[in-house]
Amino acid sequence: MTSLESHIPSRSPSLGRRPLSRETVIGWGLILVLVAAAVFAHLAGEPFYVNLASRIAIVALAGVGLNLALGFGGMVSFGHAAFFGIGGYVAGIGAFHAFDQSPLFGLSGLPAGSDLMPVLWLSALLVCGLVAYAIGAISLGTSGVYFIMITLAFAQMIYYFAVSWPTYGGEDGLPIYIRNSLPGLDTNNPLVFFTLCMALLGLALFLTQRWMNARFGAALTMARLNETRLATAGVEPRPIRLAAFVISGMITGVAGALFADLNGFVGPSMLSWHRSGEIMVIVILGGVGRLCGPLAGAILFVMMETLLGGLTEYWQLFLGVVLLAVVLFARGGVMGLLAGRERYA
């Protein structure tokens, strides 16, 4: 039965504004807490904690990407590390060639690398978009378990490629000696870097909300809930899904580029299937298909990693237990606990 809160303004139903939902309030709350924590840590002279906040924002951004496919589109991708890692390698390879002024991939004729963040972000968007298009075009011919396994397999394929391609470090990965730059800003300043991460996260959240409230989101939601209904209503489900999958991969790719800059390093571990699992875990801990779910999940995940990881080297054991408990007993994740069940209008 509908709860009291879902009281509906009587006539002319869905025209006009809705009051701020509890979910929106919580979302803003999370953002404010994170920003406040970063600023406070900066003032207290604790760059470690500022970087931790950056890490949260980046991981959340990766989750926002996956959430579009997984939560809003119902596509259980177990291969989003592919995009995260590719984004990272774009940043790493750009910096690598910018560092010694060599052309990309060492192929004369190609332009030199770049260490400008906007260029790298756009490249990450482009490359991840293309790769996501290729993976999605093949994988979306299947569904259910097949889709899960195929996305996993494609990510593994890229992982093994990175491991066995010696130019960019192979198994050992590729260091980024000097953090990529943005004209006019000191990206080495932890707070500046955090601000960049947070701005991109905020942009991604804003855009996702816009998209999901627009026609595209309506079609995507229907594709998830009832594909037959969508087709019967005259919209091809598969291209809608593919578009969402591509955008999803692109967002996660940008997160990867930021992550590589944060760590000053990119390696195959960014492409590994554990990473895919982690991004998924973040989305699930926060609440699948909830706009700010990935942010809540990222805060929880990074805090557990830091606090438990400080106590015991076996912290993933406890992560496993928590995750199992969430899946078995608390399916809505953090947002489900805080904001109640998801509501549609």
Judged by CB under 8 A, which of 43, 171, 185, 210 binds other proteins? 210
Rule CB under 8 A: which of 271-300 touch other proteins? 273, 277, 280-281, 284, 288
* Cβ(147)–Cβ(139) below 8 Å: yes
Q: Is residue 188 within the footprint of other proteins (CB under 8 A)?
A: no
Rule CB under 8 A: which of 60-79 touch other proteins? 70, 76, 78
Q: Is residue 206 within the footprint of other proteins (CB under 8 A)?
A: no
Q: Is residue 118 within the footprint of other proteins (CB under 8 A)?
A: no
Q: Is residue 138 within the footprint of other proteins (CB under 8 A)?
A: yes
Taking Cα atoms as reference points, which of 23, 17, 19, 45 lies closest to residue 190? 45
Q: How far apart are CA 130 and CA 246, in angstroms?
A: 8
Count of residues near other proteins by CB under 8 A: 78
CB nearer to other proteins: pick between 41 and 250: 250
Neighbours of 17 (CB within 10 A): 6
* Cβ(111)–Cβ(103) below 8 Å: yes
Judged by CB under 8 A, which of 3, 101, 108, 228 binds other proteins? 228
Q: Is residue 225 within the footprint of other proteins (CB under 8 A)?
A: yes
Rule CB under 8 A: which of 304-323 touch other proteins? 314-317, 319-321, 323
Q: Is residue 226 within the footprint of other proteins (CB under 8 A)?
A: yes
Q: Is residue 40 within the footprint of other proteins (CB under 8 A)?
A: no
Q: Is residue 160 within the footprint of other proteins (CB under 8 A)?
A: yes
CB of 148 to other proteins, least distance (A): 6
Q: How far apart are CA 191 and CA 323, in angstroms?
A: 31
End-to-end alpha carbon distance in the chain: 15
CB of 343 to other proteins, least distance (A): 9
CB nearer to other proteins: pick between 190 and 297: 297
Q: How far apart are CA 285 and CA 299, in angstroms?
A: 10
Residue 204, judged by CB atoms within 10 A of its CB (0-12, 13-18, 19+), counts as buried
Q: What is the 3-state secondary structure (H, E, C) of 118-146?
A: HHHHHHHHHHHHHHHHHHHHHHCCCCHHH
CB nearer to other proteins: pick between 102 and 189: 102
CB nearer to other proteins: pick between 50 and 62: 62
Structure tokens at 49: 């904690």
